[in-house]
Structure 1
Amino acid sequence: MEFKDVPAIVTGGASGLGEGSARALAAAGAKVAIFDLQEERGRKVAEELGGLFVRCDVADAYSAEAAFAAAREVHGPCGIAVNCAGIAPAGKIVGKEGPMPLDDFSRVIQVNLVGSFNIMRLAAAEMANREANGDGERGVIISTASIAAYEGQVGQVAYSASKGGVVSMTLQAARELARSGIRVNTIAPGIFMTPMMAGFSQEVQDSLAATLPFPKRLGQPEEFGLLVDQIVRNPLLNGETIRLDCALRMAPK
């Protein structure tokens, strides 16, 4: 798909992997709308990119619907959607205080999995009405999973379940939306330098980097954005979950 003036939506675009994606899309010529709850940071990034910021809770149907309407009014119907919004709280099935509160598990599923589907359904509805290119393509949806979907560590039960759900949706959604000329792919990142990671000491960062086969360093958001760029450009990439992890296979803990 071509990028020039194509309306793009990036959830979680105010920071981290979402910001890396938003910057890559804007650099390629897309009209970027950042959906996030971080208003101050989101507006700053959007202004730098010449784009739009819309406050959005991806886990809420009405919030997402209103956000899409706001972006559509300014940029037109969505042609590229990138799901980067998510949360990653740690918690064991049975911890020192007893069994994990069910609400804690549900919240992660609601944001990471239901939120990804919420954006997917609304983006697909807009994309289906766009004019197709020579291949019949009308849009591209990219979600963010994690290598924890495959090798979840102790304390990641909710996070792993939510990201496993994102992986499982990918091929099915690609097959279903193929009739509308919409491609669906997912990126499963490993250890990246995100705002959360930046809060850890250099010692912790170095110890994590030492677990990586090659290259032995944390991924950068712009490298995540580079893969987003390539997925949008390559018309044959569809229904895939791509690991971006330096060949890391995580240990149990």
Structure 2
Amino acid sequence: MEINNQIALVTGAGSGLGAATARMLAAQGAKVAVLDYNLPAAKAVAEEIGGVSVGADVSRADEVETAFQTATEALGGTPRIVVNCAGIGLAARIVGREGKLSFDMFDKTIKVNLYGTFNVMSYAARAMYDLPRLNDSGETGVIINTASVAIEDGQIGQAAYAASKGAISSLILPAAREFARAGIRVMAIAPGLFETAMTEGLPAEVRDEITGNIPFPSRLGSPSEYAQLACDIVKNSYLNGTTIRLDAAVRLPQR
């Protein structure tokens, strides 16, 4: 699918991977809805790229439905490109100090990461079903979800995060098969260790230890590299139903 003149919606686009993706899609000619729980952050990115901002908690289906309606009205059409970057990375052991259990954190992580992705994917697909086909492949739209290398390399303290991202990856093939009759592709990207708000404040020695485990290039990934892969997926109509690791060959140690 060509990106130019298409309508796109990116979640978690107020910062990090989502913001980089929104910027790159806009730079390639898309009209972009910038969705984020942090509305001021969404507004800042939208103003920068000439898009529209939408505030929503993706874990709430009613807010996601309203967000799609708002984006469709503001941009004059249904998004054919949807990229799910919204998520949280809370860390806790299953059984912590003094036997404290982490049910609350697990519940919150699953709701935001998994339910949020499912909500956005569901409303995106429903909206795309009635759109006319675009090209010789009969394509209608594409949905890209964000997993993580934790789906295979989950570390101690990442049980909730790894479970949420593993479930997102497992959603891809059945969703792609279901939506095939409507010409909607579904893909996932599983990023490794990237420059985001979570890594910016780390001490230099901690960053050096992290990057020392990355084979090549031995550095944290740039959000623009995630965005580039997302745009490549949009353009390549034969990519469907799978998860792509984007990780510089890293395999995370147990802690």
Shorter-chain TM-score bucket reads: over 0.9
- Structure 1 portions without partners, runs of 5+: none
Is it true that 1:60 corresponds to 2:73 in the alignment?
no
Query: Residues of 2 paired with 1:158 and 1:50: CA distance?
Result: 36
Find the aligned partners of 2:101 and 2:229 in 1 and give their Cα distance.
Answer: 36
**Secondary structure in structure 2 of the residue aligned to 1:9:** strand
In the TM superposition, what whole-angstrom CA distance separates every residue of 1:44-90 from its partner, at most 9, and x where no partner exists?
A: 11001000100010000111111110001011111010000000111
Count of matched residue pairs: 253
The offset of 1:130, in angstroms, is 1.3
> Deviations for 1:24-49, whole angstroms, at most 9, x for unmatched residues?
11111111001101222211110010
Q: Which aligned runs of 4 or more in structure 1 are off by greater than 3 angstroms?
A: none
Separation of aligned partners in 1, 2:141 and 2:196? 28
Alignment of 1:33-182 (within 5 A): 33-75=33-75, 76-134=77-135, 135-182=137-184
Q: Give the Cα separation in 1 of the matches to 2:229 and 2:37.
A: 24
Aligned identity (percent) is 51
**Superposition RMSD in Å:** 0.9
Question: What's the TM-score once normalised by structure 1's chain length?
Answer: 0.98
Deviation of 1:10 after TM superposition, in Å, equals 0.4
The amino acid across from 2:167 in the alignment is G
Partner of 1:26: 26
Distance in 2 separating the partners of 1:133 and 1:34? 24
Alpha-carbon distance, 1:99 to partner? 3.7
Matching residue of 1:236: 238
Q: Which moved more, 1:92-101 or 1:192-201?
A: 92-101
1:11 aligned partner, one-letter code:
T
Partner amino acid, structure 1, of 2:126: A
Unaligned 5+ runs, structure 2: none
What amino acid is aligned across from residue 91 of structure 1 in structure 2?
A
Between the aligned partners of 1:216 and 1:10, the Cα distance in structure 2 is 29
Q: Once the 2 structures are TM-superposed, how far is the Cα of residue 239 of structure 1 from its aligned partner?
A: 0.5
Amino acid at match of 1:39: L
Residue 107 (structure 1) shift: 0.7
In the aligned structure 2, how far is the partner of 1:29 from the partner of 1:206?
Answer: 37
Spell out, residue by residue over 1:133-171, the C-alpha distance to the aligned partner (whole angstroms, 9 max, x if none): 121100000000000011100000000000000000001
SS in 1 for 2:153: coil
SS of equivalent residue, structure 1 residue 150: helix
User: 1:191: Cα distance to partner?
Assistant: 0.2
Pick the aligned partner of 2:206 from 204, 207, 213: 204
Partner of 1:215: 217
Question: TM-score, normalised to structure 2's length?
Answer: 0.97
